[in-house]
Amino acid sequence: SQQGEEDPQALSIQEGENATMNCSYKTSINNLQWYRQNSGRGLVHLILIRSNEREKHSGRLRVTLDTSKKSSSLLITASRAADTASYFCATDAPGTYKYIFGTGTRLKVLA
């Protein structure tokens, strides 16, 4: 199965601290994306990194990709209470547009 796995499953930090989440996957990929989900409904896209890229930044977000280890990390710097959510990675394999999501990390940022 291509499904990714995030770790940790849950993370609790203080406001202002950095949060790091990791995603591992099993097969080669075209793209890896990170999404955020509040309250168990719709997901919001955060960032997309292609298989030939190693690092991307967007505001307080930094994503790295190591295709040799089949892993990615999402770093949220200077976290805020509003960052409290579940975070998922999603990957698609070459030759397909089928995105498989990981198991998610539940982040709680304490004010």
Q: Rule CB under 8 A: which residues touch another protein?
A: 3, 30-31, 33, 35, 40-45, 48, 88, 90, 92, 96-104
Half-sphere exposure of 26 (CA within 13 A, CB side): 8
Closest distance between another protein and the C-beta of residue 109, in Å? 19
Closest distance between another protein and the C-beta of residue 16, in Å? 28
Closest distance between another protein and the C-beta of residue 93, in Å? 10
Burial string for 64-79 (b: 16+ CB within 10 Å, else e) reads bbeeeebbbbbebeeb
